[in-house]
Amino acid sequence: MARPSSQDPVPAGGRFTFVGRRRELGLLLAAVRHPPAVVLIEGEAGIGKSRLVREATATLAPERHCVLTGYCQPLREPFPYGPVFDALAKAGPWLPGTGVPPTAGALAPLLPDLADRLPSPPMPPPDGPQAERHQLVRAVRSLLGVLGPAVLVVEDMHWVDDATRELLLLIARDLPDQLSLVLTYRAEDLPPRTPVLGSAYRHPPGTSGTTITLAPLTEADVAELATGALGSRATPVLARALYGRSEGLPLVAEEDLISLDDQGRRGGTADAVAVLERAQVPRGLREAVTERLAGLSPPGAAVVDAAAVLAVPADEPLLTAVAGLDPEQGALGLTEALRLSVLREDEDGRYGFRHVLAQQVAYRNVPGPQRTRLHQRAVEELERHSPQPLVQIAHHTLALGDREAWFRRAEAAADQAVALGDTGTAAALLRRILEQPHLGDDLRSRAALALARIAVDGIDHVATIALLRRLIADPQQSESTRGDIRLALGLLMVNHGGNRAGFREVRRSVEELATRPDRAARAMIAMAMYERDGASDQARDWMDRAEQTVRGSADDAIQAAVHATRLTLLARQGDPAVWPQLDRLPRAAAGPEVLRQTARALYNVGDIAIELGHDRRARTLLTESRDLARRSGTSHLECYSRIALLRLNGLAGHWDGLEEDFAALDTAHPDIAMTGTEQALILGQLATAKGQRSRAIEQFTLAADYGKHESQVTAALRAASGLAAVRLAQGAPEDARAVTDPAAAMLRRAAAWARATGVVPVAIEAALACGDHRFAEQLADDAEQGLRDADAPAADAELRFARGLLHSAAEPAAAAEHFLQAEHLWQEIGRPYEAARAAECSGRALAASRPDASTAHLTEALDTFTRLGATADAARCRHTLDRLGLVRPPTRGRRGYGDRLSPREHQVAELLAQGATNQDIAEALFLSPRTVERHVAHVLKKLDATRKTVSEALPGHPTD
């Protein structure tokens, strides 16, 4: 950048020689030139964060990078995502003429200058603020993704609102391929114990970036800065004086240089060092700003005082009115303040200080009585606006010392912010209210409860939990308020965090809510859902207490919540009485909370219907619950329903795209722990079927870790059965049994016999492999007893399969009959993979006595496994047919594949891409080690790859 000469005026805005930051500039440029990247720039006020960004922008411009910058502001009015919208509004020159994704249309009403170049806006989601938030995230990401190489800069993140922070966190977790995100902030001004993005951020795989912490300039840097500004007047003595005053802070040094340059232009002959030495305090910004303020005329000083009191950029009429000037005097004063670089004009035609530190210095320079009058005028003028800027009005009211009026206005401002969807501003106001001493009990309770309910809707449930704990610890809370907040905490821990420790909080809240029967009943029905640690035995007692508590209540919502929980417990038991009761649930002409409870009942029963084996009924219920959740504004319930529907797709054999669908859902709902649990279970099952045993173990172990914290046992049981199945396939029955014995004990304690989790058959198979027939028979008998009178076809199918295992050695014909019964049940349920496993087992059982029937069953299983893509299962069937000498139906003759992979080589390549060893491949595909060696050699040659790079070379295979 060119330096101003000693004869040229120092440009406003701090455009001095760029010094002392070459290393940091190199780090920043290296990161953004290799997107996707996230760069965090940290430093105190005035340290040069914005200047570093401007230098990088100037360097990137010739390289055709799109750089969009937005600024966070203090004391802002409710405007969620304002800094991001400000940045996106400048994207016009980089928008392509075609190819903007339809999802970006959601931004059209928010970016009017770009509306004619964006797709038509979609219909607003009918399910409330959280769904709108997720729609907006998708829109922002899709727009940023079509700009080519782009950098989104958000400055002053220490002032960011919660909504914008959450948006940026979600974008940072899943950046478009050509986007870099650059965030500047002052660490000391971040909220306590809060990282810049709200949660601790770790770069996802494939994302680069760095954190740049700016230190003060050295004395040599300040000397270079002075030389660039003052030329020959910048003597070593002056440079030393500048460094002593600024202590290396660029902002202070630059302010001093502006003052010295102004003094020189006015014809002053005083020695520059002497000018600096006459300042009362030789270091800091306050004196430099004060000296410049002293040169203002009365109209200029009045306008600057008004700007200092308003504290946010304001238009000319507002500044003039608060200053108490007529329009002509106001214009003169504002022009002078701009000419002397005391104020500056922003892109929206509003006027404010160049730096917040300068505003603070100017504010302290206003005499007390004058400050009071200015705050009063500010209130009067702002109250004339429509809509009223309640946040600013509350600020000025507090400055006037009227605490009671401030309480009213701050609470109204918080309500306004919530109505506009800006929960971040609302939360900040409510926190400020709660920090006040001698707060009235009613207001304290209202503010705490409002803050708790806002926090529960936040994306970062970890930070929210910490906030709720602080509210609970407040000794001034009433007992019922504490109980209500504790209930919110417990439910958040359970529903979003998947942490069953939340039930301890829920249980404690029951007694604290003794005077609030409606809220106490909600805690009781939550406890009725808990089935860990023997708690399932107490479910009926909790339900009875809840029903007794709300008996006679006119509150339709709590009555609906209690009834929804009762239906859930009936479904858990496999009680067929649940089905007709679902048909009678209200679906129209009901209040929103009643509708949410209907959606909850449909989801809960639909999810359990999968465990029971009523898959078609489950799909109907879950589709309806998803749609009702959208209508009733229950975003997390919509997500739950979509998770369960994806699971049904997997069970029905629709495996293509399933992993991508789960990944997209996880990205859209990072706050829902259940997404990760179900994704791990499904991926583990797919990996098992494909012979990717290491990956299967990894996924099932991950699911088991999730399952440890959940209130219900099914996820933990499914993870255990999946892990044990892999261990059995590896020929390690003792390892399998180490997993299945605790799982069987958990199944017994929860009496969850009606829910098919896979534990009964795999535990029996492991016990038989270890020679423990007594355990296997007892478990089968217990399961049969537990299923008496239960409408649970999937559990019946598992029991039939388990009986087949029990008879396989001594009575193969009886075993085959049990396996065939299981196959027919699975076919009726609609699960082809499970049906094929049963057909395979019946084929093996009939091999000696009925080879034709055996061949038919094995071939049927082989065809199904092949169609599904269950590589390992298909290989096992082929191996069984070959080993038993059974004749398979004729196939076409061997064909040549040239340089392309044959089907078998593709199977080998897939396993290599997952890190499988030759021994792993041999076991998965039932091949000899020598055959595997030959296939591996062919694969690596055809792909021109090594074992480490085969994942990248394999067509269509994702890289991690």
> Mean pLDDT over residues 760-772, rounded?
97
Which residue in the block uniquely carries the two structure tokens 């359970």? 494
Point out which residues pair with 42 in neighbouring strands: 185, 213
CA 929 – CA 917 distance, rounded (Å): 11
Do residues 476 and 443 lie in contact, with contact meaning Cβ atoms separated by under 8 Å?
no
Whether the predicted pLDDT of 268 surpasses 70 = no
Do residues 586 and 592 lie in contact, with contact meaning Cβ atoms separated by under 8 Å?
no
> Mean pLDDT over residues 665-686, rounded?
84
Cis peptide before 387 (omega within 30 of 0): yes
> What pLDDT is recorded for position 5?
30
> What pLDDT is recorded for position 270?
59
**How do residues 27-45 score in pLDDT, each as one tens digit?**
999 999 999 999 999 998 7
Reported CATH class of domain 791-891: mainly alpha
Query: Which of 163-167, 270-274, 775-779 is least confident?
Result: 270-274
CA-wise closest residue to 713 among 744, 739, 672: 744
Most confident of 187-191, 403-407, 649-653, 926-930: 649-653
CA 254 – CA 4 distance, rounded (Å): 13
Query: Which of 121-130, 549-558, 708-717 is least confident?
Result: 121-130
Tokens of 344: 């500056």
> Mean pLDDT over residues 256-261, rounded?
79
Sequence spans of domains, the chain: 22-213, 219-269, 560-650, 791-891, 903-953
Whether the predicted pLDDT of 629 surpasses 50 = yes
Whether the predicted pLDDT of 959 surpasses 50 = no
> What pLDDT is recorded for position 2?
31
Provide the residue type at 530 as one letter: Y
Q: Is the dihedral of CA 15, 20, 23, 28 positive or negative?
A: negative
Query: Which of 325-334, 420-429, 850-859, 864-873 is least confident?
Result: 420-429
> What's the residue count for the chain?
960
> Mean pLDDT over residues 881-894, rounded?
65
Do residues 711 and 530 lie in contact, with contact meaning Cβ atoms separated by under 8 Å?
yes
**For 70, left (φ over 0), alpha (ψ -120 to 50), or beta?**
beta
CA 192 – CA 916 distance, rounded (Å): 46
CA 366 – CA 371 distance, rounded (Å): 6
Whether the predicted pLDDT of 359 surpasses 50 = yes
> What pLDDT is recorded for position 421?
65
CA 60 – CA 29 distance, rounded (Å): 8
The pLDDT-based confidence of 957 (bands split at 50, 70, 90) is very low
Contacts of 810 (CB under 8 A, 6+ apart): none
Whether the predicted pLDDT of 947 surpasses 80 = no
CA 671 – CA 932 distance, rounded (Å): 43
Reported CATH class of domain 903-953: mainly alpha
Tokens of 377: 């005028």
The pLDDT-based confidence of 6 (bands split at 50, 70, 90) is very low
pTM of the model: 0.60
CA-wise closest residue to 253 among 211, 288, 293: 288
CA 879 – CA 803 distance, rounded (Å): 24
The pLDDT-based confidence of 569 (bands split at 50, 70, 90) is very high
> Mean pLDDT over residues 620-646, rounded?
89
Which residue would you say has higher pLDDT here, 892 or 305? 305
CA-wise closest residue to 624 among 613, 612, 607: 607
CA-wise closest residue to 857 among 829, 873, 875, 837: 837
3-state secondary structure string across 695-740: HHHHHHHHHHHHHHHCCCCHHHHHHHHHHHHHHHHCCCHHHHHHHH
DSSP class of residue 151 equals E
The pLDDT-based confidence of 7 (bands split at 50, 70, 90) is very low
The pLDDT-based confidence of 128 (bands split at 50, 70, 90) is low
Contacts of 567 (CB under 8 A, 6+ apart): 578, 581, 582, 601, 604, 605
Which residue in the block uniquely carries the two structure tokens 């000419």? 339
The CATH number assigned to the domain with range 22-213 reads 3.40.50.300
CA gyration radius, the chain = 34
The pLDDT-based confidence of 888 (bands split at 50, 70, 90) is low
DSSP class of residue 9 equals P
Do residues 208 and 214 lie in contact, with contact meaning Cβ atoms separated by under 8 Å?
no
> What pLDDT is recorded for position 76?
66
How high does pLDDT run on average in the chain?
86
> What pLDDT is recorded for position 280?
46
> Mean pLDDT over residues 536-561, rounded?
88
CA-wise closest residue to 722 among 688, 676, 691, 675: 688
The pLDDT-based confidence of 630 (bands split at 50, 70, 90) is confident
> What pLDDT is recorded for position 12?
33
Which residue would you say has higher pLDDT here, 547 or 288? 547
Per DSSP, helices labelled H in 366-440 are: 368-383, 390-399, 403-419, 423-435
The pLDDT-based confidence of 98 (bands split at 50, 70, 90) is confident
Tokens of 253: 């040094």
CA-wise closest residue to 357 among 421, 288, 416: 288
CA-wise closest residue to 708 among 498, 946, 953, 874: 498
CA 573 – CA 752 distance, rounded (Å): 8
The pLDDT-based confidence of 831 (bands split at 50, 70, 90) is very high
Angle between helices 461-473 and 441-456 (to 10 degrees): 160
CA-wise closest residue to 249 among 57, 74, 55, 49: 49
- Work out the end-to-end distance of the chain between its first and last CA atoms, rounded to an integer number of angstroms: 41
Whether the predicted pLDDT of 267 surpasses 70 = no
Do residues 201 and 188 lie in contact, with contact meaning Cβ atoms separated by under 8 Å?
no
Tokens of 777: 């028979």
CA 683 – CA 567 distance, rounded (Å): 31
**How do residues 492-523 score in pLDDT, each as one tens digit?**
887 666 677 888 999 999 999 999 999 999 99
